[in-house]
């Protein structure tokens, strides 16, 4: 990836660098065309050692968490839950290794689309302001990354028990931050696609404005060529979304699974600790559930925004088709009809490699499923507490009768 080739990737580079520090994505410099081959090899070797060290840290800290919890809790089994963290961290590192080439293709395609859309829009008036995308990234991605990095230690630090060393607690917080930052990474790529769609739609809207003020056929061929270029660009954006879904297939699937299991685990532990009047962590448990839910919600929300922007293009085409110029020039009408047929067949869908769709409908189904499991869990716990109180009353009655 070369920053000079794409202003979109230049704007996203600071967030990509932060994600590379947390071992979630290779540094953007690896894909630069200006980086010498020997220096690239040295950088890749050094970063590979950094990834191996992070994986070893994850394995050690998960083992330390299991040992610490076993020293404090004897009735509850947490080994399987801790192994989910190991699986996610290992999957993230394998994703970097196996999809390194695909990530380079994604960067290259984003840069090419950025340049070609810019060339297509330079002849039209009403150009969109560049700073708006930088501001949207800062609000949508930057603030949420800062919130995750700052809030997760406050919600979890000091709640691992007295047998856990403070250094292990710090490393555990880093691991938890690494897991949740996968959500902002996915949102970053979705917002890049969203900006490409908005800019492509803007070119189409400017083309419609020119057709409204167009009285002669001197430039009709030029406008038809621009319409065809716009159609081809939309098709490439649709293929780009498929590549992004394939890149995030297993990492996002495990993130959704991990957050759902964690919410159920936290609810289960909150019910168990509710009988303790000295427990002061219930509000933190609520905050943890909200943070995990919002992280999933934002991924679905931004995907939904992108889909809605893509689905608004047929409305612009319909408005262009109703203009008098479309009736006067058959070549323009044929181009609009072909473009409309393409939009009907190429439906934009964000998926995890085809495993499931990422949109608000999926998030609603996930919330309903979690509520169903929580209701079942509460029913079992109420029955268990009732039986425990009943047995305690019987034992106390027998003790009173025995002493009498």
Q: Does one domain contain both 286 and 388?
A: no
**Whether 72 and 146 share a structural domain:** yes
> Do 346 and 384 share a domain, yes or no?
no
pLDDT digits (tens, 9 = 90+) for 240-250: 999 999 999 98
The confidence score (pLDDT) of residue 375 equals: 86
Pair 326, 395 in one domain = no
- Kindly report which listed range (21-25, 132-136, 293-297, 374-378) carries the lowest average pLDDT score: 374-378
Number of domains the chain contains? 2
Q: What was the pLDDT predicted at 94?
A: 86
Domain that holds residue 374: 359-404
132 and 118 share one domain: yes
User: Taking the CA atoms of the chain, what radius of gyration do you get in angstroms?
Assistant: 27
Residues 261 and 386 in one domain: no
pLDDT digits (tens, 9 = 90+) for 263-280: 988 888 777 766 565 666
Q: What is the band of 181 on the pLDDT scale with cuts at 50, 70, 90? A: very high
Residues 56 and 203 in one domain: yes
pLDDT at position 193 over 90? yes
Angle at the Cα of 296 from the Cα atoms of 380 and 20, rounded to 5 degrees: 125
User: Which residues, other chains included, contact 153 with Cβ-Cβ below 8 Å and sequence gap of 6+?
Assistant: 173, 177
Summarize the confidence of residues 89-118 as an average pLDDT.
90
Q: What is the pLDDT of residues 29-75, one digit of tens each?
A: 888 777 778 888 888 899 989 999 988 888 888 877 777 666 555 44
pLDDT digits (tens, 9 = 90+) for 139-152: 999 999 999 999 98
Q: pLDDT > 70: what percent of the chain? A: 81
Domain boundary among 338, 358, 378: 358
Kindly state whether residues 8 and 103 are assigned to the same domain. Answer: yes
Are 379 and 300 contained in the same domain?
no
pTM for this predicted structure = 0.88
Residue 119 CA, distance from chain mean position: 30
Same domain, residue pair 352 and 363: no
Residue 161 has pLDDT above 60, yes or no: no
Euclidean distance between CA atoms 294 and 352, whole angstroms: 19
CB 352 within 8 A of CB 254: no
């Amino acid at each position: 990836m070369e920053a000079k080739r794409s202003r979109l990737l230049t704007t996203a580079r600071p967030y990509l660098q932060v994600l590379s520090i947390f071992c979630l994505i290779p540094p953007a410099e690896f894909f630069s065309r200006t980086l010498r081959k020997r220096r690239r090899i040295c950088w890749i070797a050094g970063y590979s050692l950094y990834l191996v060290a992070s994986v070893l840290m994850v394995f050690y800290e998960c083992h330390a968490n299991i040992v610490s919890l076993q020293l404090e809790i004897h009735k509850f089994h947490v080994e399987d839950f801790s192994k989910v963290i190991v699986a996610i961290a290992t999957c993230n590192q394998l994703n970097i290794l196996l999809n390194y080439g695909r990530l380079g293709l994604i960067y290259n395609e984003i840069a090419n689309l950025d340049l070609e859309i810019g060339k297509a829009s330079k002849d039209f008036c009403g150009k969109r302001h560049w700073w708006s995308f930088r501001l949207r990234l800062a609000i949508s991605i930057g603030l949420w990354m800062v919130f995750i990095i700052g809030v997760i230690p406050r919600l979890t630090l000091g709640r691992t028990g007295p047998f856990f060393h403070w250094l292990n607690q710090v490393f555990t917080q880093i691991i938890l931050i690494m897991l949740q930052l996968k959500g902002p990474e996915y949102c970053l790529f979705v917002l890049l696609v969203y900006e490409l769609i908005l800019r492509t739609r803007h070119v189409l809207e400017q083309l419609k404005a020119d057709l409204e003020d167009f009285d002669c056929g001197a430039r009709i061929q030029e406008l038809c060529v621009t319409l065809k270029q716009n159609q081809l660009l939309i098709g490439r954006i649709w293929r780009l979304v498929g590549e992004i879904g394939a890149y995030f297939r297993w990492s996002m699937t495990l993130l959704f699974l991990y957050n759902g299991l964690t919410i159920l685990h936290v609810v289960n532990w909150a019910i168990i600790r509710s009988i303790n009047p000295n427990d002061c962590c219930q509000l933190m448990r609520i905050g943890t559930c909200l943070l995990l839910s919002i992280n999933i919600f934002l991924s679905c929300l931004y995907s939904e925004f992108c889909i809605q922007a893509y689905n608004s293009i047929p409305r612009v085409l319909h408005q262009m088709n109703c203009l008098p110029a479309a009736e006067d020039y058959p070549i323009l009408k044929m181009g609009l009809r072909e473009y409309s047929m393409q939009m009907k067949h190429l439906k934009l869908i964000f998926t995890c490699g085809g495993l499931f769709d990422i949109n608000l409908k999926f998030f609603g189904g996930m919330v309903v499923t979690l509520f169903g499991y929580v209701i079942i869990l509460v029913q079992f716990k109420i029955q268990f507490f009732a039986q425990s109180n009943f047995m305690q009353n019987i034992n106390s009655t027998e003790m009173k009768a025995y002493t009498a």
